[in-house]
Structure 1
Amino acid sequence: MNDTVNIAYGRGHLAVRLPDDAEATVIRKVTLPKLGDQTAAIRAALEAPIGAVPYSTLVKGRRSACILICDITRPVPNRLFLRPMIEGLLAAGMPAAAISVVVATGLHRPNEGAELAELVGDPWVLDTVRVENHFARDDDAHVDLGPTSRGTPVKIDRRFVDADLRIVTGLIEPHFMAGWSGGRKVIAPGVAHHETIRTFHSARFMEDPLAVQCNLVGNPLHEEQLEIVAKIGEVYALNTVLDEDRDLVHVTFGEVIASHLAAIEFIAESTAIAVPRRFKTIVTSSAGYPLDKTYYQTVKGMVTPMDILEPGGTLIIASECSEGFGSPEFRDAQERLVTLGPERFLATLKAKTFAEIDEWQTEMQLKPMRMSRVQLYTTGLGAEERRITGVELVESVEAAIRASIDRAGDVAVAIIPEGPYVVPVHAARS
């Protein structure tokens, strides 16, 4: 009987029936114990911070506060921690009008209306304090803090820089360029000016071999982010870790760098999974909703399993793309990729100081395309959008697996149900 494996797709799963002769290796994160009381865990982290005084002490005497949250592309459990943080500020005597929650959109679109309500997850928060989006293209909304040692212009949202108490919140997960998400990344690119973002998303950073998932040592993007935090000054962070069911399994609070590193230390071994061989057939996902809302976000799932992909093999990715393709700028970059071809497209990027908005995602797509055949299963893209993906479209994941096995003459198949939330590492490197 055929084995069936469920992979993350949209708000549910896609059931994939494997060929009878397939020898499947299913790669998942190590299962972490769930927290019995998630709210209590949040409050405990706030009162036992890393590199900082307890939250109840930290908030005393503060004149204003700005709390950053990730945008809708990250499943951060804002509903669990925003209210206790805001209640702590109010209890310390800070007026509600002096508290702002800013959605760290980077260069993504704003989150508004019902989507903003979903993102915040608690009507009380929306009724009590200002919740606003960051707009990277608004020059007047940023403070110029001067360039980094590498020459990156540092301009950060004025609401955050000017706040007496600055707090970032986010999710710790592998990031295919910056090593790990969360912490300092919520500031830059989260609330950075477009020139800041476009500089450290340029080819001289993106093509650096150390700008990869799960690596912070020598990673130029991480180092830029650390310099940017140092320019801002005092910043605190609340970092969350979720399991495959999107339940909270760990939380840290404290000084932004120290608390971020502590959360990474907790999750690293359970996320980077040693795999003893490489595969000519890999099946993965874009991690389901909300990460597979667009094709733009889907690229992350293509890049993450590259370490176990045999050159010349086939990478099959399933992504619903329920919201379509992505930004107009990303569409333009993909159109240029298809028109120019990978080599000429990359040559145009290397000649620039500022990357064009969102073209860095197209640049990252080149990496798996250089070494393998990339195939996409989706139900959310139209004919023209499918054309400019630059990859092969398949109508059936099962048929694509069968064809890949036949081409490769190898029945071994790696399956990564949770997509880029899991980082398979070839055992020879571990």
Structure 2
Amino acid sequence: MFGRGDLPITLPQGAQPTVIRKARLPVYADPGKAVLDALDSPVNAPPLAQLALGRKSACILICDITRPVPNRLFLRPVVETMVMAGIPLDHIIILVATGLHRPNLGEELAELVGDPWVLEHVRVLNHDARNPDDLIDLGHTAGRDTPISVNRHFLNAELRLATGLVEPHFMAGWSGGRKVVAPGVAGHETIRTFHSARFMEDPLAIQCNLVGNPLHEEQLEIVRRIGEIHAINTVIDGERRLAFVNFGEIISSHLAAVDFIAAATQIPVPRRFQTVVTSSGGYPLDKTYYQTIKSMVTPLDILAPGGTLIVASQCSEGMGSTEFANAQRRLVELGPEKFLATLTARTLAEVDEWQTEMQLRPLRIGRIKLYAPGLSPADATLTAVEVVPSLDDAIANSIAEQGDGSVAIIPEGPYVVPLFRAP
């Protein structure tokens, strides 16, 4: 997966490829009907039509452009169900859960919403984690003393819905559900606290793990502090077709979606490899180097110590935020050990530096080579990895340097988590 298509590769003679994909998922013949059935048969909650009765306002959270959520399939049915139950259309807000990402505007917002009717009839806003006027303070978590502030539009709504995509997440275990609320519509201090080194360096803050994961536990406490929240959870296959959808109470419905996707996503592999080739998951995840780092973390269990990890990412928008570029600059200037030391001394992470911190994980194991034609020469110097002009040459060179023709190839990037399991 590369940009909006695929990137062909040619392996050198004698190479022995092992292609690692997630299990084939069944997809709905009628996705629209699947959505309606989910709204009528919820997990641990009444149907949406019943929930909406007597409510005067609603707020629907949607993920930002970095997640390929099939919003076009469910936003209009959800809104129409609410209106039929008596909620005035002008009292329904769709709120883009940007976290600390940039807002989604213009054509990008239209692509994100996916339905012209919704965009024309429903008020759509971008969350701004830095705007104190948009936030309400809820105190601190009891477990780890994380300050809690959340978007007022979401908190003040009588009916609250979060929507999202459930997939592996390299820090929080799994995306979607509670994560759409925090960090999705949380304030910057909330986000920067549980992205600080005391959370990021926890050995349980890893992909596909919820047990003891400090990020997950803080997110659960925050959604419980808010009160009643419901969620629409989706899973898509490699061709972005709807494979699963449910609706219900935010925690239990999210766990049901995790149960559906977990076995298909975590793939046992009987050996480790000196050469691993992966992608950043294609559009929209490979628009920036910031998001590309996810694909450097998910395959680490099968990368042999001292091995070469080769990543293909379009990086059509370059590095990402200015704050992230500054963090990368500090990494290049200080080196991994000194950079990490600057993080552990703070309780609040600087914006977007946590992604740079996550890059330290693959740097501890092996070498990283990056094929990213969208990066300028100046940006390439900030990656702290070797940027290569040819993916095929990088693979051939790694095989020659390692003296091992076995190559692991992961076309779907961070959407697949290979796990080393000795036979």
**Corresponding residue pairs, total:** 422
CA distance in 2, matches of 1:43, 1:268: 24
Measured against aligned partners, the alpha-carbon deviations of 1:55-102 in whole angstroms (never above 9, x if no partner) come to 111111111000000000000000000000000011112111110000
What pairs up with 1:389-404 in 2 under 5 angstroms? 389-404=383-398
Task: Select the residue among 403, 413, 418 that pairs with 2:412.
Answer: 418
What pairs up with 1:176-325 in 2 under 5 angstroms? 176-325=170-319
Aligned twin of 2:99? 106
TM superposition shift of 1:341: 0.6
CA distance in 1, matches of 2:120, 2:395: 50
Query: Are residues 1:368 and 2:359 paired?
Result: no
CA distance in 2, matches of 1:279, 1:252: 37
CA distance in 2, matches of 1:276, 1:146: 47
**What secondary structure sits across from 1:329 in the alignment?**
helix
Amino acid at match of 1:358: D
Aligned twin of 2:352? 358
TM superposition shift of 1:19: 1.1
Aligned twin of 2:10? 17
Measured against aligned partners, the alpha-carbon deviations of 1:349-406 in whole angstroms (never above 9, x if no partner) come to 0000000000000000010011100010011010110000000011111111111111
Aligned twin of 1:130? 123
**What secondary structure sits across from 2:44 in the alignment?**
coil
Aligned twin of 2:151? 157
CA distance in 2, matches of 1:50, 1:141: 31
What pairs up with 1:372-391 in 2 under 5 angstroms? 372-391=366-385
CA distance in 2, matches of 1:396, 1:189: 37
Which structure 1 segments of 5+ residues have no match? 1-7
CA distance in 2, matches of 1:54, 1:147: 32
TM superposition shift of 1:160: 0.4
**2:52–2:86 CA contact under 8 A, matched in 1:** no
Amino acid at match of 2:156: D
Tell me the percent identity: 66
What pairs up with 1:134-145 in 2 under 5 angstroms? 134-145=127-138
TM-score (normalised: structure 2): 0.99
Amino acid at match of 2:271: R
Aligned twin of 2:46? 53
CA distance in 2, matches of 1:375, 1:242: 29
RMSD (Å), alpha carbons: 0.7
TM superposition shift of 1:124: 0.4
**What secondary structure sits across from 2:395 in the alignment?**
helix
**2:58–2:92 CA contact under 8 A, matched in 1:** yes
Measured against aligned partners, the alpha-carbon deviations of 1:327-354 in whole angstroms (never above 9, x if no partner) come to 0000100000001111100000000000
Query: Are residues 1:43 and 2:29 paired?
Result: no
Amino acid at match of 2:4: R
Amino acid at match of 1:112: L
Aligned twin of 1:4? none
Which structure 2 segments of 5+ residues have no match? none
Amino acid at match of 1:40: K
Task: Select the residue among 73, 76, 83 that pairs with 1:80.
Answer: 73
TM-score (normalised: structure 1): 0.97
**2:58–2:158 CA contact under 8 A, matched in 1:** yes
Would you identify which runs of 4 or more consecutive aligned residues in structure 1 move more than 6 Å? none
Measured against aligned partners, the alpha-carbon deviations of 1:156-177 in whole angstroms (never above 9, x if no partner) come to 0000011100000000000000
CA distance in 1, matches of 2:28, 2:87: 31
